Chain A
């Protein structure tokens, strides 16, 4: 019997199994795009005990860790605006950061051995505060004033706080290790409970 040729039959024929095929083709794009040199930023999701965290890397290194309380779409939009919109989901470039984060949360890693891309921390003072923060060892803490002093501006503890609040690579650049001088933990981008969780994980505060 002859098929009826109309919009409906054409759609049915041409769109058969299309969704699955398109998802499959799309999943292969990141590798092809990376080979072609057009993939500026790759991202993936790290499953952590405190929730899913988005991690993103350029060719230069890890550029963003977005904590579970922050919407991943917003993190991606910020990367698109400030780094590059040529962003695809792909675990390939993120194997090492994902593994190290797993080990850190499992208590099997005290320091990260990752290349970092500071593109999202452009202000000079911010960058020096974050670099000093990156030197604070596992299980230790500094006060906002101390980190400001190390960054060359002893009285800029408030500015240091803002710089830490805008840390684009939390956990790996351990801004949770910077606390208030009176013994309180102070603010944290991921929420105060998460700061406490991380400091307990590291044994910096009592169980």
Chain B
């Protein structure tokens, strides 16, 4: 059996891109929960990890946790009636709040690809591995996501 490096080293190497990706996927408030779930699952499977691309491997787990999170969110019972129809917005960081929100409103595949590319700085080969698609498809998803973001901002002057 192959020996893995200490998990702390693995965590230190991947914590920033994983949190970046998760923030873009589920928002800053829930990103930490997904982060803990991602790395606990990674620890569980760590000894079986194929060492060829650890970043894509952990990002695959993170993506699954983000999707689970969305599903769990849908199953949640309705909150109090007086709450608005729109989900409560997490507080967003800094001046780029609107851009941030727009990313979260992209269709899932584009959102995942854009988050991996720009929040986690993955290259297209890694995105393709993490999304289980071809490199071309990964590239296309990122570009379509970008195009859509541009349209959103150019037509409305920002999403409202």
Q: Are A14 and B23 in contact (CB under 8 A)?
A: yes
Identify which of A2, A18, A22, A88 contacts B158 (C-beta below 8 A): A2
- Residue B122 at the chain A interface, CB threshold 8 Å: no
Q: Are A16 and B96 in contact (CB under 8 A)?
A: yes
Q: Are A39 and B35 in contact (CB under 8 A)?
A: no
Q: Output the nearest chain A residue to B147 by Cβ-Cβ distance.
A: A5
Q: Are A14 and B100 in contact (CB under 8 A)?
A: yes
Q: Output the nearest chain B residue to A17 by Cβ-Cβ distance.
A: B93
Q: Are A2 and B6 in contact (CB under 8 A)?
A: no
Within 8 A of A (CB), among B4-46: 4-9, 11-12, 15-16, 18-20, 23-24, 28, 31-32, 35-36, 39-40, 43-44, 46
- Residue B149 at the chain A interface, CB threshold 8 Å: yes
Identify which of B7, B44, B157 contacts A87 (C-beta below 8 A): B7
Do most interface residues of chain A lie in helix, strand or loop, or is the interface mixed? helix
- Residue A26 at the chain B interface, CB threshold 8 Å: yes
Cβ of A76 to closest chain B Cβ, rounded Å: 4
Do most interface residues of chain B lie in helix, strand or loop, or is the interface mixed? helix
**Contact flags A147-176 to B (C-beta < 8 A → 1, else 0):** 000000000000000000000000000000
Cβ of A131 to closest chain B Cβ, rounded Å: 28
- Residue A79 at the chain B interface, CB threshold 8 Å: yes
Q: Are A18 and B16 in contact (CB under 8 A)?
A: yes
**Contact flags A3-28 to B (C-beta < 8 A → 1, else 0):** 10111011111111111011111101
Q: A25 vs B121: C-alpha distance in the bound complex, in angstroms? A: 19
Q: A114 vs B39: C-alpha distance in the bound complex, in angstroms? A: 30
In the complex, how many residue pairs between chain A and chain B have their CB atoms under 8 Å apart? 128
Interface size for chain B: under 10, 10 to 19, 20 to 34, or 35 or more residues? 35 or more
Q: Are B118 and A25 in contact (CB under 8 A)?
A: no
Q: Find chain B residues with CB under 8 A from A10 CB.
A: 99, 103, 114, 118-119, 146, 149
Q: Are B103 and A79 in contact (CB under 8 A)?
A: no
Q: Find chain B residues with CB under 8 A from A3 CB.
A: 96, 98-99, 153, 158
- Residue B90 at the chain A interface, CB threshold 8 Å: no
Q: Are B19 and A9 in contact (CB under 8 A)?
A: no
Q: Are B19 and A22 in contact (CB under 8 A)?
A: yes
- Residue B138 at the chain A interface, CB threshold 8 Å: no
- Residue B47 at the chain A interface, CB threshold 8 Å: yes
Q: A22 vs B21: C-alpha distance in the bound complex, in angstroms? A: 11
Q: A19 vs B9: C-alpha distance in the bound complex, in angstroms? A: 16
Spell out B's residues near A (CB within 8 Å): 3-9, 11-12, 15-16, 18-20, 23-24, 28, 31-32, 35-36, 39-40, 43-44, 46-47, 93-94, 96, 98-100, 103, 114-115, 118-119, 121, 146, 149-150, 153-154, 157-158
Spell out A's residues near B (CB within 8 Å): 2-3, 5-7, 9-19, 21-26, 28-29, 32-33, 36, 38-39, 43, 76-77, 79-81, 84-89
**19 A-B pairs, CB-CB below 8 angstroms?**
A3-B96, A3-B99, A3-B158, A5-B99, A5-B153, A10-B99, A14-B115, A15-B118, A16-B93, A21-B28, A22-B18, A22-B19, A28-B32, A29-B35, A29-B39, A36-B40, A38-B44, A86-B43, A88-B7
